[in-house]
Amino acid sequence: MNNFSGIYFHIPFCPKKCLYCDFFSVTKFSKTAPDEYGDALLNELESRFNELSGTKVVSIYFGGGSPSVMSEKFYRKFAESVSKLGIDLAETEFTVEVNPADIDESWMKNLKNCGVNRISFGVQAFDDAVLAEAGRRTTVADMQKNIPLFAKYFDNISCDFIYGLGKNREINQELTKVFELAPFKHLSAYSYSRPERKNAPELLSEEETLEQEKAIRGFLQKRGFSRYEISNYSLAGFESRHNMLYWTYGSWLGIGAGAASFIRKTGVSSRYADDIKAFVSGDGLSSWKLTLREKIEEFLLMGLRVKIGININDFKELFGEDFFELVSEKAVSDLVSEGFLEIDEKNGILKCTEKGSDFLNAVLLKLFDAIMC
């Protein structure tokens, strides 16, 4: 079992709230707020970094919110701080989520100089009518102007794309145009789930949603992308390390208002309140220890999302008992004979079939019922 870890930083500022979004972020903030918040992130990193002792940090990820509102100076200070902590950025996958509406060439060059080696663009759609319906402040013109700039400097580029929203979309055409802007290596395809907000876009019918999803899958498969996780596609070798940590039961430290952490060796989860003021004044963090059942649920929930599945031989090391001492063998073999799961006993691998991935929630409910502790 690997002992990898990652650090996630949440940047909870967005100049405008997208209508489909349920992440924690604020739209009203002073000019100095991002820098003050950035200093708090660095202090908190320094005081909590020892929670990752005994692990190797393989990923740093800035998500949001909009990490592209943070100043060049902040990223420089950040790079200095992490090298003082002994993290070798050249060995680390260092991702920053970027809104194509925010940046210019100087900001991008600075990121490169600070050791960032992976960019994740919030594209979501490539049609101004759909972007407007979604309440995005980004336009097709912003993407056409800024994404090719990044492609000159970064090799590892990903994009987020949303489906289940926007009627009569020409997904194939949208993606063709997106891929003309840069040689993307990774794509996260998110199924829209309507937030509790009056003016949130309408959710498409299940049939239309499936059609859009199928179009995305088909487009990417033709370009040699593999669906390595339920919602994530990549070329070989470009799977997101950050995501893989979540799905392979690694440890991660989440820093920033609204961010969550999980440390495998102690089984402790923690979360900061959705409150920027509290975070900046060093408050708002709560922690709790997961029960054995919760840890097993998490292990199954995350591990069965990925194509490689879970290694049940790791179970004893993680939870003190063999897999079938804690999960009913009969329930697992029923799911295997119904075509939802596949088991490779020689190598100890349990994974979802394509049918199992399509009905993952039902499979997980059955497995959760089969946990015997």
Instruction: Report the nearest approach of ligand SF4 to the CB of residue 4 (Å).
Output: 26
Q: Looking at beta carbons only, is 34 or 303 nearer to ligand SF4?
A: 34
Instruction: Report the nearest approach of ligand SF4 to the CB of residue 214 (Å).
Output: 24
Q: Enumerate binding residues for ligand SF4 (CB under 6 A).
A: 14, 17-18, 21, 23, 25, 64-66, 99, 122
Q: Looking at beta carbons only, is 85 or 141 nearer to ligand SF4?
A: 141
Whether 351 contacts 309, CB under 8 Å: yes
Instruction: Report the nearest approach of ligand SF4 to the CB of residue 131 (Å).
Output: 11
Q: Looking at beta carbons only, is 92 or 138 nearer to ligand SF4?
A: 138
Q: Looking at beta carbons only, is 66 or 212 nearer to ligand SF4?
A: 66
Instruction: Report the nearest approach of ligand SF4 to the CB of residue 24 (Å).
Output: 8
Instruction: Report the nearest approach of ligand SF4 to the CB of residue 280 (Å).
Output: 19
Instruction: Report the nearest approach of ligand SF4 to the CB of residue 14 (Å).
Output: 3
Q: Looking at beta carbons only, is 121 or 323 nearer to ligand SF4?
A: 121
Q: Looking at beta carbons only, is 7 or 18 nearer to ligand SF4?
A: 18
Q: Looking at beta carbons only, is 240 or 311 nearer to ligand SF4?
A: 240
Q: Looking at beta carbons only, is 203 or 235 nearer to ligand SF4?
A: 203
Instruction: Give the span between the Cα atoms of 180 and 369, in whole angstroms.
Output: 47
Instruction: Report the nearest approach of ligand SF4 to the CB of residue 259 (Å).
Output: 13
Instruction: Report the nearest approach of ligand SF4 to the CB of residue 18 (Å).
Output: 3
